[in-house]
Homo-oligomer: A and B are copies of this chain.
Amino acid sequence: MKNREAVIEKMKSITGPDWVLTELEQTLGYLYDETEPLLRPQADETCLVVKPGTPEEIAAIMTYATESSVPVFPRGGGTGLCGAAIPTLPGIVLSLERLNKIVELDEDNLMITVEAGVTLEQLNAFLSKENDLFFPVHPGDEGAQVGGMAVENAGGVGAVKHGIMRNHIKGMEVVLPTGEVVMMGGKLLKNNMGYDLLHLMIGSEGTLGVVTKVILRLYPRLAYKGTLLISFETRQAAAKSVSQILKQGMVPLAMEYIDRSASQEAADHLGLTWPAEKGSVDLMLILEESTEDDLFDNTEKIVDICDANGAVDSLIAETGKEQKVILDIRSNVYTSFKEKAADAIDMAVPPAHFPAFLDELMQVVDQYGTQSPTVGHIGDGNIHNIILMVDGKLPDYFEEMRQAMYEVAIRFGGTVSAEHGTGRTRKAFMSLQFSPREIQIMQLVKRAFDPAMILNPGVFFDEPNGTENGLTGIH
C-alpha cells in the first residue's frame, strides 16, 4: 500500500486529524450499505474514511484525488440497496455526515435548502415542528441522507401522488471531481439555459460529483388522512381498480399492493394481526385531502369502484391506532424477510400491465418450485418481490431465475430498477435495457465530469484496471 501514509497526511491537512479514520475497527461501519449480504461486493478494507466539514474541504480532497488518481467513494446514510456506497478499490470513503445543517426554510417560495448530510428524519422533524409544509418523498428508511436520496433519485410509497426526488429537486450545490464547486439550478420552477446538468446529476449515484447542498420544493400539508385496506381474490381485480381510480382523477398518497403471504409473514414477525381475512391479495390506499368532505367523498368513490371490481372486503381505518397497525405491517414486509431474502427485486412496468406482468413473473417462480412474496407500489407499476434463500444461501437457480424475471420486465417495456438504483449489484443488467452506443455515451458523460475516473468507480460500469489506465489508487 504504497501511498497510504501520504494520503492520510494529506487528508489530515485538509480536514484536521480528528476527521480521518484509518483503522478497520473505526472504518468498518462505513464499508457497506443495506444491500443483501450474499449479493454485495467485497469492500476494500484498506479504505480511509474522511469526514470533511465544508464544500471547500471537499473541493480540496477532490482536486488532490484527481491529481493523484485516488478513488473517492461518497457516502450518505448508507441505506442504499444497490451497493453504490461500497468502496471496492483502495481509496477514500468520503462521508457527508458533518454537512448536516438545515440552511434555510423559504416559506414564501415553498422551498427548503439543506446540506447533503441532513437525514430524512431530521428534515421531517424540522418541518413538522416549524410549519405547515411537508416534503413528500419517503423511501422507507429515515436514516437516508438528502444528498444520497438525490443522487439515487429515491422514490417510495408516496410517489404515485407526489412523484420521486427528481420532481422536487430544484437546485444542488455540487463539488465536481476536478474540484470546482458549482450551483446547478436554483429556486426556479422553469430554467431552460444550456443542457440540464441538474437532472443528469439526479440518479447519477455519486459518480459525477459530490452533492453538498440540495434545494427541495415543499408542499402545504393536507390535514385529513385516511387508510383503506381492500381485499380481492385476484390481482387482476385489484389492478383494474387502481387503474379506474386514477382515471377518475383521484390520486391517493399511496397505492400499495400486498400478497397475503407477505402481509401475514410481516404481521407474525411483529406479533400483530393483519386485519384482512377474506381474499388473497390486498390494496392499501392512503388518502390525503384538504377537507374532511373530500376525504369522505373519495373514500366512498374508491370503495364503490373496488366493489364493482369484485372486492371481497374493505376496511376503513378510522383511528390512528388502526392506521398504525396496517402501516407498521406494510413497512415491515422487507424487514420480516430480511433474514431469508437472497435478493429484493425492484422492477417497474407500465402501471396497467401490473397484473399481466405479475402473472408471468409468478409462472417463472413456479418453474423453479419456489415462492416469491410480493409487495408493490402498484400505482407506479413498481414491484418488489423477494427471491428467497435456500438453506441460508443463494439457491442454485438464483442467477438463472433472476435473469428470467428481468427478461419478463423488459418484454413488458419495464426496467430492472425502478427506484433502488443500478449501483454495483445491477450494473450487469445495463445491457438488457441499453444499446452498446447508449452505454458508450454514458461512459463518455462520466468522463466529461470525471476525467481521472476517480469518483465512485465501479458504479454503472466495471472498475478501471488499476494502474493500467492511470488509476493508481492507494497501493
Please list the residues of chain A having a beta carbon within 8 angstroms of any beta carbon in chain B. 106-111, 132, 152-153, 155, 159-160, 164, 166-167, 176, 178, 180, 182, 184, 186-197, 199-200, 202-204, 219-220, 222, 243, 246-249, 290, 348-353, 377, 379-382, 413-422, 426, 429-430, 433-435, 437-439, 441-442, 444-449, 460
Contacts and interface: CB of A to CB of B under 8 A. Distances in A.
A149 to B, nearest CB: 12
A110 B250 CA distance: 13
Given A350-B109, A437-B178, A190 B380 contact: yes
3 smallest beta-carbon distances between A and B, as pairs: A444-B448, A108-B352, A187-B350
B195 A442 contact: yes
Nearest to A184: B438
A219 B247 CA distance: 8
Contact of A418 (B167, B192, B426, B429): B192
A433 B219 CA distance: 28
Contacts of A348: 188-191
Contact of A447 (B413, B415, B444): B444
A350 B159 CA distance: 25
Contacts of A176: 437, 441
Given A220-B249, A415-B186, A422 B192 contact: yes
B413 A187 contact: yes
B164 A190 contact: yes
B188 A413 contact: yes
A219 to B, nearest CB: 8
A186 B410 CA distance: 10
A187 B186 CA distance: 29
B442 A197 contact: yes
Contacts of A420: 192
Nearest to A348: B190
A243 B195 CA distance: 30
Contacts of A448: 441, 444-445, 448
A467 to B, nearest CB: 24
Contacts of A353: 109
Contacts of A421: 192
30 contacts: A106-B350, A109-B352, A155-B192, A159-B190, A164-B190, A166-B196, A166-B199, A176-B441, A182-B435, A182-B438, A186-B415, A188-B413, A189-B348, A190-B380, A190-B381, A190-B415, A191-B417, A193-B415, A193-B417, A193-B430, A194-B422, A194-B460, A195-B204, A196-B199, A196-B200, A197-B441, A199-B202, A220-B248, A249-B290, A444-B445
A189 B159 contact: yes
Contacts of A290: 249
A164 B190 CA distance: 8
Nearest to A222: B249
B449 A441 contact: yes
Nearest to A209: B441
Contact of A189 (B132, B382, B446, B447): B382
A415 B192 contact: yes
